[in-house]
Chain A
Amino acid sequence: MKRQYFLILLAVSLLLVLTTVPVLAQTYYFSVDEEIVHVYLESDGSMRIEYILVFTNDPSASPIEFVDIGLPNYNYDLSSVYGWINNQPIQHVGKSEYVSPGIELGLQSKAIPPGATGEVKVLIDRVEGVLFDNYDDSAYASAKFSPNWFGSQYVFGKTDLTVTFHLPPGVQPDEPRWHASPSGWPSNQPNTGLDSDGRVIYIWHNPSANAHTQYTFGASFPRSYVPSEVVSKPVPEGELFQPSPPSGIRIPSNMIVSFLFFGGIILVLVGIVALAVNSDRRRKLAYLPPKLAIEGHGIKRGLTAIEAAVLLETPLDRVLTMILFSAIKKGATQVVSEDPLKIERLTPQPEKLRPYEEDFLKAMVDEKPRKRRTALQKVMVTLVKTVQKKMKGFSLRETENYYQAIMKKAWQQVEQAATPEVRSKLYDEGLEWTMLDRDFDDRTRRVFRTGPVFVPIWWGRYRPSTVSTARPSTAVPSTSAPGRSVSLPTLPGAQFAATMVTGVQSAASSMVSNVLSFTNGVTKTTNPPPPPSRSRSSWSSSGGSSCACACACAGCACACAGGGR
């Protein structure tokens, strides 16, 4: 991924400040143990902001009853702002009386008492006018963001701060540019990756940040991904919006846009009355549900698309078809009869066939339906168990999300292709992954509704009869023959889609005749899945559980304990 610094950027600044109200002897002293901020830059140029703030109120401090959140500008819709305290919806969400522009969240009965910890979540669904021209490259738009910071006299301890920029849908990984991390940050660069929707993300993380320093983050991306009218000219820094501070609140001069603080004069008075009435109740701490967590590795990377299909519980007939396609694409086999399906192995056999492909080809040799079905069932049982074994110690949920993201990415590339040639090529390349989609059939029809399709080179080994009706063309090379430029035939898109969908639907039934019976034969062996391995001995002999997951726990990673002696 191309990286470079962009030092001259103007963009959105969301500067949040905590101040106190020096009345009624209110004392504010707290730690922000964790702050997670997601900044979504949407394709319409708007920004969606999500905050998770974990406050621990000092035992000697006043209750935290209100949280005011500053916003980048006035272009937001109050009805799309939501808040939660300890996962309970906050009923009072309104325009802030103390922060302008900004919103306030009244915690009411769920105020964070002295000595307690509370998690505040905020969703600002839509803020417009947040993108600006990039000084260095007119083809790029930029956004810049500072999460909240507080007066150092009010906050103590470290803050585990994570800021994630989600770039607009469609931005390719090698296109955007991150801005250098703030001074003093552990790394000069953010971590990069894709979110569950396949969007490029930049993640800045510092487990030892503090909540009284202003950190600024930024990113740039090609402005073609957002409407041109939403990208504004840069505003000279001195002309940035300066809010009028409410009376009685001291505002440091470098705090520009908005503020966050707890309490207010009138509201604190109300709080005191409530405290008197419910003094016994208020002495108790707010209840947070218990949470147990373990460190471990989440995502099992490196599964093939077919293994991922098993993981995602794709219907087994679809998985069989995927194996068939995979073997055909690799040049290991070709169809000699479409109905009933018969294949023959090609020579020479390609190297690096997967074990399930090898087993599949062996199983297909038998032309007796019953024997073939039994053999294919064995292939699937082995495959399912292999995937189960590979998943030991990994998070099923995170891994599923990961492969769903790859599938979405594969579709996205196909759907955004500029020409039929590129679209055909990308469809061919990503076929194994798009087949993970439950909506594969309809989506294929939609994608190839219009325009010609450049038939992949392996298509002839799958549907020789179809290729014979196709028109020759000067097409792009197929990925099945990298580096070779060959003339590929074309089919009308709709015809190709119909052939593909029908083929996928019918291939498995051609192989095993009764798909339901076939599936039952597999799942009766694999469902319920084999129990995870357990230790057979106790601490006295084994030191505890030896489930594979035990080693996933980073706490067990006693690296170098006596090693090397």
Chain B
Amino acid sequence: MRLPSLRSRKSNMDDLTPGLYGYTHIIPGGHARIHLRVEKDGRGLLLINANRAVHLNPTAALMVWLVLEGQSEAEAVAYLRNRYQVASKTARSDFAEVRDHIEQLIKPDGACPIHELELDLLPPFSETPSAPYRMDLALTYRCNANCPHCYNLRPRNYPEMTTDQWRLVIDQLWEIGIPHICFTGGEPTLREDLGELISHAEAKGQITGLLTNGIHLSDRSYVENLLDAGLDHVQITIESHLPEEHDRMVGISGAWDRTVQGIRNVLQYGLYVMTNTTLLAGNTPYIGYTIDFLADLGVPTIGCNALIYSGRGRTVGTGIPEDDLAPALEIVRARSIQHGQRLIWYTPTQYCHFDPVQMQLGVKGCSAARYNMCVEPDGAVIPCQSYYEPVGNILLDSWESIWNHDLSLWLRERRYVPKECNACPMLKECGGGCPLTLRHQPQQAPMNHIPMPETLLET
């Protein structure tokens, strides 16, 4: 059986060479975007819809490539036997299993990779890729909102690259092997060339997303332009179901009306739409109603995060301490389950204060300079959107020097983890929480550690 309707972005059936391969898999009611990153040593990384990462040894990478290229079993076995010292029966059996796994992983209702496919399980954050999975492009630091808690540290008139320079950046990111781009800011819709850049990235084969306050999306024609450009997903920030609270939190009167209209507009199209809400002192008491409101709008996926201690966030004073997050998240989770919404929690926390795993929110740890980085308007690369310390310039410096910059390594290797955390069995998942919180909220020290197994005997 062959996977149908695959469109290859890069194929050379003579041999599998290092690089990024992009595919689109048409499925009933939608499509799946698949990327295979092949490393110099032959190992591979399979990214499905930019949100599921499967690590492949060289043989698996080759087999996945053959599957995605639509090779039949006979063709694949012949290819494998020509390359490896392997019996026909073994090659056929192994290829069939890999093909079945890929088909299940691609299907939206496919088997669970952990329970049903029983893929090997690697500890969280144990793999060091050769480049992030996602790059955020902060096109501009200009903004049409004025959030008192905004994490942006830069002036609004920060120098910006030209459209051609951004095209070069996108080209460079494809060459590096980054399949997922998110346009952000500031407010990225203030750049008139946004649609053009989306088109350019889509033509390369990248998945594109937009992180916005949604104000410009209240213009339907603008939304259609972005859709025509090929935009895959959009995330709109909405802080409350209460117009006055939202407007207060974004610092602009009348913003709520336009943002909500923007949400309504994008929901009419086939975009993957989600909202994001920062849980702060002002909106958290009513968060359950906000979730209800978003459900009424038809938002299928809701995101939440805590205050980021960067920019104004360092001093705004409205952050919820990690110890107090659980009750709010309980409400959000219960309401999202009730409404059939998917909930995504973003913030890396210290698990001794707030454990997202036990709340079934997934493993959340700092992924800066590991799974994601950010390019600033002037081309500087920073470890994440909120960590304003450049590690190089994407157009001027080698990727090697950026990726292995001391700060990149410091974050990726979690050298910032407090010594109190070293005995904690959850350290691999937790990673000590957000480095920015550690720096700016020293009063929130980690507890010694989550109890060792033997102390369970006391419970």
Contact = CB atoms under 8 A, between A and B. Distances in A.
A555 B53 contact: yes
B119 A293 contact: yes
B151 A544 contact: no
Interface string A173-203: 1000000000000111111111000000000
Interface stretch (A93-101, A128-136, A395-403, A492-500): A395-403
B126 interface: yes
Interface stretch (B6-14, B156-164, B196-204, B420-428): B420-428
B218 interface: no
Given A542-B301, A560-B346, A291 B121 contact: no
Contacts of A558: 51, 134, 344, 346, 367, 371-372
B107 to A, nearest CB: 8
Contacts of A409: 453-454, 457
Given A543-B301, A558-B134, A559-B364, A292 B124 contact: no
A538 B423 CA distance: 42
A17 to B, nearest CB: 24
A483 interface: no
A173 B150 CA distance: 45
Interface in A543-565: 543-565
B186 to A, nearest CB: 9
A289 B101 CA distance: 15
Interface stretch (A229-237, A241-249, A297-305, A453-461): A297-305
A4 interface: no
Given A537-B29, A539-B30, A557-B367, A294 B120 contact: yes
B54 A293 contact: yes
A565 B150 contact: yes
Given A191-B423, A532-B116, A541 B151 contact: no
Contact of A539 (B32, B237, B426): B32
A372 interface: no
A207 interface: yes
B300 A541 contact: yes
A160 B101 CA distance: 27
Interface stretch (B78-86, B222-230, B321-329, B390-398): B78-86
A484 interface: no
Contacts of B116: 532
A549 B54 CA distance: 13
Contacts of A550: 51-52, 362
Interface string B416-440: 0101001101110100001000000
Interface in A115-132: 117
B457 A406 contact: yes
B94 A290 contact: yes
A56 interface: yes
B413 interface: yes
B342 interface: yes
Interface string B46-72: 111101111111111001000000000
Contacts of B58: 117, 288
A561 B300 CA distance: 17
A549 B417 contact: no
Interface in A206-263: 206-208
Nearest to B24: A539
Contacts of A302: 358
Given A295-B125, A542-B272, 9 more contacts: A117-B57, A189-B422, A208-B413, A284-B84, A292-B55, A294-B55, A295-B53, A555-B53, A563-B347
Interface of A: 1, 31, 33, 56, 117, 160, 173, 186-194, 206-208, 281, 284-298, 301-302, 304, 392-396, 398, 402, 405-406, 409-410, 413, 429-430, 433, 532, 534-565
> Nearest 3 A-B pairs (CB), nearest first?
A551-B362, A555-B53, A540-B30
11 contacts: A192-B422, A192-B452, A194-B452, A290-B59, A295-B363, A409-B457, A537-B300, A542-B342, A543-B342, A560-B434, A564-B310
